[in-house]
Amino acid sequence: MWALCLAALLIISITHWVYRWRNPRCHGKLPPGSMGLPLLGETLQFFTPNTSSDIPPFIKKRMKSYNITDPDLNYFVFQQEGNLFQSWYPDTFTEIFGKQNVGSLHGVMYKYLKNMVLHLFGPESLKKMIPEVEQAALSKLQQWSCQDITELKDATASMIFDLTAKKLISYDSNKSSENLRENFVAFIQGLISFPLDIPGTAYHKCLQGRKNAMRMLKNMLQERRAESQKQPVDFFDYVLEELKKEGTILTEEIALDLMFVLLFASFETTSLAITLAMKFLSDHPLVLKQLTEEHEMIIKQREIADSGLTWKEYKSMTFTFQFINETVRLANIVPGIFRKAVREINFKGYTIPAGWAVMVCPPAVHLNPAKYENPVAFNPWRWEGVEVSSASKHFMAFGGGMRFCVGTDFTKVQMAVFLHCLVTKYRCEAIKGGDIVRTPGLQFPNGFHVKIMEKDTRNRKQRYIAADA
């Protein structure tokens, strides 16, 4: 008898729990959708890889069923950060990136770190970086031209990482006894994986990669502290000066997490964008032709053809910026941006309960046929005459609101300068096109191999002389 009562009580409890799961309390009308399975929700469907350039199937299915991904709501979420919403990521992401990472901080501390990063990536700093970026691109292109074949994503990731690490911490892989980038590669490969911290799992390798990278960064910081540096030479020196200030709110833990996130974000996202840019060039000869003409005109107008690229020349690259905008629109490098409602929010007749997470979906914005004609087609000319200085309702490739990516201009500089070096001095032949495997966290272009060949620069100079004559 008691056994039957306990069984009945258990069944009633489970039934009630499942009911409450599927019908959460709300003081209004919840947005349309499903809570999915208890505890798991719809996580398994959400993380299903996508190998197309279109909107992820998970999102597309729910757009068709529930008419979600309202552009106005996406924009509203960004504009109300710090008021109605705050940055949020799952606990596993917080553990991986660090509890004090810039994505998890809010208010005064976030603004303070943002200003620190602007010190590194502001216009004045970028003007000084142009020669370094150009030299790095030329050096790598020359190296690749001596190879029979180059796996482009890995090669560009190496180039971007070396450049960023040099600017941040004066790191030189050729002079270091440990390979810092290898730790980031291990970190990335396990970033989107089941959070099982057991030796041999991708998640364990991810955590070990972060641990080793953080150990190296901490050792570098301690070594720099012991040196007597008169003038700051990199971002590490600037951080040390901030740590020395009386009453500073910066801690060593936050500073190191910031370094880690900057290194990760810069080389992984920018290398993906450059890889896709070269793939688009190989697939669209008319785009390559116009891009080449723009950059060869820059050289033609110089007094000395082989003088370095200038900030004025960079700012004159009209078609190049159209090309970059279209590349990042289709790349959708960050497929999802998470925010949490800090209090109950009413929007267009629906209620978002306090504490609920909201995911802004840039692909749904960038591939909206109501805004972009034939949205999956690569068409840089669609940006002709369009000014893109920050996020809008229809373009949020670099985030939006107060968390608009402060490294946006640095990314554009690296892409534009690399393209300049590529189309004026080299030619690229795609040997094997790769697949873009998209997940809600990262994308991996697999097997995009190219052959880089140096152009006959002597003939190019003669052509300019003949044109001037």
Which residue in this structure is represented by tokens 């959070």? 195
- Longest Cα–Cα distance in the chain: 107
SS (H, E, C) 401-465: HHHCCCCHHHHHHHHHHHHHHHHHHEEEEEEECCEEEECCCCEEEECCEEEEEECCHHHHHHHHH
Choose among 141, 19, 86: nearest CA to 454.
141
Q: Which two tokens stand for residue 386?
A: 């369009």
- Convert 62-71 to b/e letters by CB count within 10 Å (16 or more is b): beeeeebbbb
Choose among 56, 3, 18: nearest CA to 439.
56
Q: Which two tokens stand for residue 50?
A: 């996508």
**Dist CA 386 CA 423 (whole Å):** 24
Choose among 90, 114, 50, 68: nearest CA to 340.
90
Where are the strands (E) in 22-107, listed by range?
Answer: 85-87
Strands 350-352 and 345-347: antiparallel
Length of the chain: 469
Angle at 281 between CA 279 and CA 284, to 5 degrees: 110
Q: Is 405 among the annotated ligand-binding positions? A: yes
Choose among 409, 395, 343: nearest CA to 75.
395
**Dist CA 436 CA 53 (whole Å):** 8
Which residues fall within 8 angstroms of residue 362, CB to CB, at 6 or more apart? Answer: 332, 334, 335, 336, 337, 396, 397
- Residue numbers belonging to the annotated binding site: 405
Annotated binding site for heme: 405
